[in-house]
């Protein structure tokens, strides 16, 4: 028997490992199963290239809990270690065998999918165990070795009679960590970290029901048998070639990933690249609707089929974190901070690759089946609009397929929209004026008025639409957006109506004076306009600029600080050609004049949803009086 000291460069590394290496103690299991997987894949590689002349067979990894003895066993049928190798790979900490293996078999082992890198994975066992044993038998013709260490820097190494190839790790779980002896806890961890690892993982057995034999009686119970309980799917969809997968396979994999999710995804994007970085994965577009917040943290990041995290911030562009699915890349550095990650060249490339793939997929969906794309638009638009706002590269591509629905449910691209409105909807400066509504019910009167004039009105109702509009106005030449109840609409009205006012200048002057006596001018700017006599007598519009600033503030507009207390300001447009206005002008009794103005203002406010509280109560009272 050999004894010795573990060769560590830092004195007493164990307390360090226990406390600081990983704040998450549970990852020890992931590390040990990764090692077992590596050991199995290495053997597979060596048999493939003829260097190991043994039967590879159908190896699996087994996890066993011995609650009585307070032990956890991780058993593999991989390449094993000779005593010398234990000496080298285990006793010389910070010596990553995986790295050495990859170095030695550089060219042939590139695609072997080996996980280990840091050389401290094995020692994470001491985060939960007082004592750790390794019993291992190499595929080489040498006796098995038995290594024991109680968490100090000394170990024992002796021969063992283990006959079958492979390694068994025995953890003597310490008192504080006894939850790791619960089946339910181990099951939970296996599902979280190992669900898609490439070697079958057995945890206990399960009862399987067999078909009844032909001659069985009605009341006979169906026969059952005990079978290995394999907890993982060793070849998940993302590891396969897109050409080998059907629509059903993608949907099936989505259910595997999100068993509690009953809604089907809208479509998927298969990521698959091996140069200049290695990345595979499948992203899904779920039905998103209007909500942007609750959807995050659904994309899972894997490295060689080992789950790492479901926080992909910094790796996937922000706007795509609303998607779901899996990304698997061994090239993402994980032992660094997130802010460093964003500056990392490889990660930047990965991020822009993903963006490009998503844009290409959307583009092909748009081209190949526009009707279907239109149907899905309302469920995917937040992602696309958010992407157009935040990534210029994405904007360029999305500009060709982003849709702008009208209030009548026609879906137009921006180009189509421009073409459609270029004759009629230009203002005095020949700028294209895009009219839009944000709520069909609330802005009904304004929509109707605009449609009467033959204008096209869009329905833009996503939460970030004011930001998007701002972006479109700055990136497109000569386009301005106006909400149907916004003030710029006057420009359009004035332009296409050469209506002459019924009132003389003096009459206008007097009318304005009368109106301003009743109407609070701190909130309303009174504007007299000569319009069609059928157009509304009083109309309230809000300066487009001001409303948009407010909206952007609410949805977190960048750089909009300090505008928190902007006053409410509106325009009151008075149609001098309307009979009611003539009536107001001609009213001789002051009280009558005031009553008419008040009532008209309230009606205008009502149509803008601005009449509330006491004002509304007064209005209703006054109205009842009037019809009495
Ligand atoms: P890494 O996995 O990054 O190489 P670890 O600390 O996890 O570092 O493991 C150290 C080394 O110990 C491995 O590289 C491997 O050579 C050896 N080893 C660990 N577990 C096993 C195992 N189950 N079977 C064979 N060798 C193993
Ligand atoms: Mg390891």
CA 195 – CA 41 distance, rounded (Å): 17
Mean pLDDT of 564-585: 85
Nearest CA to ligand 1 atom 18: 35
> Which residues are near ligand 1 (CB < 6 Å)?
31, 35-36, 38-39, 76, 78-81, 89-90, 96-98, 116-122, 167
DSSP letter for each residue of 266-280: SEEEEEEE-SSS-EE
Atom nearest to 119 CA in ligand 1: 8
SS3 316: strand
188, two tokens: 């939970």
Q: Is 112 exposed, middle or buried (0-12, 13-18, 19+ CB in 10 A)?
A: middle
pLDDT at residue number 558: 46
- Candidate from 34, 35, 77, 165 with most ligand 1 atoms within 8 A of CB, to mutate: 35
Query: What number of H helices and E strands is found in the chain?
Result: 19, 22
Asked if residue 560 has pLDDT above 50, the reply is no
Atom nearest to 118 CA in ligand 1: 3
SS3 367: helix
601, two tokens: 């203002």
pLDDT tens digits, one per residue of 339-385: 666 777 788 889 999 999 999 999 999 999 999 999 999 999 989 99
Say which ligand is closest to the CA of 36. 1
Q: How far is the CA of 34 from the centre of ligand 1 (A)?
A: 9
- Candidate from 29, 32, 38 with most ligand 1 atoms within 8 A of CB, to mutate: 38
**Backbone CA torsion sign across 550, 554, 555, 561:** positive
Distances (CA, A) of 403 to 28, 71, 266, 406, 461: 49, 60, 17, 10, 12
**Angle, vertex CA 517, rays to CA 513 and CA 522, nearest 5:** 105
Q: How far is CA 99 from the centre of its chain?
A: 34
Nearest CA to ligand 1 atom 2: 116
**Angle, vertex CA 568, rays to CA 566 and CA 572, nearest 5:** 145
DSSP letter for each residue of 193-242: HHTT-SS-EEEEEEEEEPPPPTT--TTSPPPEEEEEEE---SS-GGGS-G
pLDDT tens digits, one per residue of 285-342: 988 766 655 566 689 999 999 998 888 888 899 899 889 999 999 888 765 566 666 7
pLDDT tens digits, one per residue of 2-38: 777 765 544 455 555 555 555 678 889 998 999 999 9
Distances (CA, A) of 596 to 96, 113, 521, 537, 587: 88, 81, 17, 12, 9
What pTM did the predictor assign?
A: 0.80
pLDDT at residue number 335: 58
SS3 107: coil
Distances (CA, A) of 41 to 78, 101, 192, 227, 489: 7, 11, 21, 24, 69
CB count in 10 Å sphere of residue 156: 14
Atom nearest to 34 CA in ligand 1: 2
- Whether the upstream peptide bond of residue 276 has omega within 30° of 0, thus cis, is yes
pLDDT tens digits, one per residue of 471-498: 999 998 889 898 988 876 656 655 555 6
Question: 169 and 134 in contact (C-beta within 8 Å)?
Answer: yes
């Amino acid at each position: 028997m050999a004894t010795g000291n573990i060769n560590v460069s830092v004195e007493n590394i164990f307390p360090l490992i226990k406390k600081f290496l990983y704040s998450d103690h549970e990852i020890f299991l992931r590390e040990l199963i990764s090692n077992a997987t590596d050991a199995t894949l290495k053997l597979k590689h060596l048999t493939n290239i003829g260097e190991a002349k043994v039967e590879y067979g159908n190896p699996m990894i087994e996890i066993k809990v011995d609650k009585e003895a307070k032990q956890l066993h991780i058993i593999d049928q991989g390449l094993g270690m000779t005593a010398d190798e234990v000496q080298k790979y285990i006793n010389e900490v910070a010596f990553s065998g995986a790295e050495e293996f990859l170095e030695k078999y550089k060219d042939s082992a590139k695609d072997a999918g080996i996980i280990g890198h840091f050389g401290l994975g094995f020692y994470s066992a001491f985060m939960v165990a007082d004592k750790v044993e390794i019993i291992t038998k190499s595929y080489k013709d040498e006796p098995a070795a038995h290594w024991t260490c109680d968490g100090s820097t000394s170990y024992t190494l002796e021969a063992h009679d283990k006959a079958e190839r492979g390694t068994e790790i025995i953890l003597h779980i310490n008192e504080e960590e006894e939850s790791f002896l619960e089946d339910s806890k181990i099951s939970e961890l296996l599902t979280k970290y190992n669900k898609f690892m490439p070697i079958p993982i057995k945890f206990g057995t399960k009862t399987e029901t067999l078909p009844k034999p032909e001659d069985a009686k009605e009341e006979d119970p169906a026969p059952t048998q005990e079978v290995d309980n394999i907890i993982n799917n060793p070849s998940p969809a993302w590891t396969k070639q897109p050409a080998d997968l059907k629509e059903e396979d993608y949907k099936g994999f989505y259910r595997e990933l999100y068993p509690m999710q009953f809604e089907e995804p809208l479509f998927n994007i298969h990521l698959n690249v091996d140069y200049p970085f290695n990345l595979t994965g499948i992203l899904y577009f779920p039905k998103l609707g209007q909500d942007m917040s609750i959807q995050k943290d659904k994309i899972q990041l894997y490295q060689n089929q080992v789950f790492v995290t479901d926080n992909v911030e910094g790796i996937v562009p922000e706007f795509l974190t609303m998607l779901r699915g899996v990304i698997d890349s061994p090239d993402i550095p994980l032992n660094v901070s997130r802010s460093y990650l964003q500056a990392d060249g490889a990660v930047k490339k990965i991020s822009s690759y993903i963006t490009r793939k998503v844009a290409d997929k959307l583009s092909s969906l748009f081209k190949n089946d526009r009707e279907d794309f239109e149907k899905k638009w309302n469920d995917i638009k937040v992602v696309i609009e958010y992407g157009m706002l935040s990534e210029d590269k994405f904007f360029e591509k999305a500009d060709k397929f982003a849709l702008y629905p009208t209030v009548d449910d026609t879906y137009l691209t921006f180009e189509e929209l421009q073409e459609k409105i270029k004759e009629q909807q230009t203002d005095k400066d020949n700028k294209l004026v895009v009219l839009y509504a944000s709520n069909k019910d609330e802005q009904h009167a304004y929509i109707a008025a605009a449609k009467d004039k033959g204008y096209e009105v869009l329905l833009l109702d996503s939460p970030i639409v004011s930001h998007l509009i701002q972006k479109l106005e700055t990136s497109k030449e000569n386009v301005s957006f106006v909400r149907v109840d916004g003030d710029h609409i006057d420009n359009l009205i004035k332009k296409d109506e050469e209506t002459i006012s019924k009132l003389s200048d003096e009459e206008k002057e007097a009318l304005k004076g009368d109106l301003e006596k009743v109407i609070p001018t701190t909130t309303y700017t009174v504007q007299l306009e000569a319009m069609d006599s059928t157009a509304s007598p009083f109309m309230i519009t809000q300066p487009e600029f001001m409303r948009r600033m407010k909206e952007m503030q609410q949805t977190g507009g960048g750089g909009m600080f300090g505008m928190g207390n902007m006053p409410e300001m509106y325009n009151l447009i008075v149609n001098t050609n309307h009979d009611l206005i003539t009536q107001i002008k001609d009213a001789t009794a002051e009280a009558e004049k005031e009553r008419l103005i008040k009532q008209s203002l309230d009606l205008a406010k009502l149509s803008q949803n601005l009449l509330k509280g006491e004002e509304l109560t007064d209005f209703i009272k006054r109205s009842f009086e009037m019809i009495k």
